[in-house]
Amino acid sequence: MRDFSFLPQFSADELQTAVLQAAGQTRSCLPRFTDQFKYSHSVHNFYEPSENVEWTTGFWTGELNIMYQLTGDTDFLNAAQSQVPSYLNRIKNHIDTDHHDMGFLYTPSCVAAYKLTGNEEAKKAALLAADNLMSRFQPKGQFIQAWGTLGAKDNYRLIIDCLLNIPLLFWAADVTGKSEYRTVAEAHLHTSIRHVLRADNSTYHTYFFDPDTGEPLKGVTFQGYKDDSAWARGQAWGVYGSALAYRYTKSQEAFDVFKKVTGFFLDHLPESIIPYWDFHFTEGSSEPRDSSALAIALCGMLEMAEYADSDFSAYLKDTASRLCRRLWQDCGAKDPAVSNGQLLHGTYARKSPYNPCNNRGVDECSTWGDYFYAECLVRLKQKWEPYW
Ligand code: GLY
Structural domain boundaries in the chain: 12-381
Q: What is the mean pLDDT of the chain?
A: 98
Alpha-helical regions (H) of the chain: 12-29, 57-71, 74-82, 84-92, 102-106, 112-117, 120-134, 167-176, 179-196, 232-249, 252-267, 291-304, 310-331, 367-381
The reported pLDDT for the residue numbered 83 is 98
- pLDDT band of 209, cuts 50, 70, 90: very high
Residue type, 342: Q
- pLDDT for the residue 97: 98
Q: What's the chain's length in residues?
A: 388
Any idea which fold 12-381 has?
A: Glycosyltransferase (1.50.10)
**Is 330 a known active-site residue?**
no
CA geometry: angle 155, 97, 354, nearest 5 deg:
35
Assess whether 161 carries a catalytic annotation: yes
Best of 55, 196, 240, 291 to mutate for ligand 1, by most ligand atoms within 8 A of CB? 55
pLDDT at 360: 98
| The predicted structure's pLDDT at residue 211 | 98
Pocket of ligand 1 (CB under 6 A): 161, 223, 233
Q: List the one residue out of 92, 121, 122, 97 whose CA is nearest residue 108.
A: 122
Could you tell me the distance, in angstroms and rounded to a whole number, from the CA of residue 100 to the centre of ligand 1?
Answer: 11
Residues 6+ apart with CB under 8 A from 153: 211
Q: What per-residue confidence (pLDDT) applies to 187?
A: 98
Q: What is the pTM of this model?
A: 0.98
